[in-house]
Amino acid sequence: MLGLAFSGGKDSLACWYLYKAKKPIVLWVNTGKAYPETLAIVEEIRAEAVEFIEINVDQQAQINANGIPSDIVPIANTLHGMIVSGKKDVLVQSYLNCCMDNITLPILNAVKERGITQLIKGQRNDESFKGESRHGAVVDGIEYIQPIEKWTSKQVLDFVATQRGQLPEHFSLNHTSLDCYDCTGFMKDSADRVEWTKVNHPELYDKYALNMSKLKGTIIPIVELMR
């Protein structure tokens, strides 16, 4: 049984166009924090897919319980750290932990529950962050199909453009899969997304800025001690 891990970004959209004729089961995680642009693409594919599985997670509840996602994690401000250092005003977690709990694991659980044995992923070798799976790998009974693995970002965009005629405006961003508007992780690759959010969605930017302000107030004093 064939499935497609769909985010609404350029890579998963390219995979949809490549495998649309094979009618894969589309799986999308709704974090509750997706941008309007992502939701529009999701609804488009939902209408075209033979079977579309929406996986609802409570990203805010996960953050409340585990902390604000961050590139730099002060040990004393983590769940385990507070056990020995005492309660702090700001709880912090690795952004990888946040993504794992809110996106990766929910998709894998849904794949197994639905009995999917082949999973299409829009992962590329030239990405800064990517999973360990490679095209053709079989892990826990699931074969990973990664057709754009050797493509560049430009090749993906060119292909999507030929399929749609016109690229969505936000596909000019480094991160085109806009899963969570208040994400404070991936700082090196998120500068354009943050600025774009500030201009196009000021109300969403305010929520991001509040979390980032809390992180800075916690992390900067620690970094200063390292100088």
Q: Tens digits of per-residue pLDDT, 73-119?
A: 999 999 999 999 999 999 999 999 999 999 999 999 999 999 999 99
Calculate what percentage of the chain has a pLDDT beyond 70: 99
Mean pLDDT value of segment 135-152: 92
Write the CB contacts of 193 (distance below 8 Å, at least 6 apart in sequence): 173, 174, 175, 178
Query: Of 26-35, 138-147, 169-178, which gets the smallest average pLDDT?
Result: 169-178
Query: Residue 68 pairs with which residues in a beta bridge?
Result: 92
Write the CB contacts of 97 (distance below 8 Å, at least 6 apart in sequence): 66, 69
**Segment (H or E) for 113:** helix 105-114
Query: Residue 94 pairs with which residues in a beta bridge?
Result: 70
Fold for 2-225, please state it. Answer: Rossmann fold (3.40.50)
CA 167 to chain centre: 20
Q: Which residue has the higher pLDDT, 197 or 189?
A: 197
Residue 35's pLDDT band (boundaries 50, 70, 90)? very high
State the greatest distance between any 2 C-alpha atoms of the chain, in Å, as a whole number.
57
**Segment (H or E) for 98:** helix 95-99
The pTM for the full model equals 0.92
Q: Is the pLDDT of residue 5 over 80?
A: yes
Say whether 53 sits in a helix, a strand or coil: strand
Calculate what percentage of the chain has a pLDDT beyond 90: 85
Q: Domain spans of the chain?
A: 2-225
Q: Is the pLDDT of residue 130 over 70?
A: no
Say whether 151 sits in a helix, a strand or coil: coil
Query: Residue 25 pairs with which residues in a beta bridge?
Result: 3, 51
Query: Of 67-76, 87-96, 170-179, 199-208, which gets the smallest average pLDDT?
Result: 170-179
Mean pLDDT value of segment 24-49: 97
Residue 136's pLDDT band (boundaries 50, 70, 90)? confident
Calculate the alpha carbon distances from 110 to 29, 33, 45, 113, 186 in Å. Answer: 10, 20, 18, 5, 26
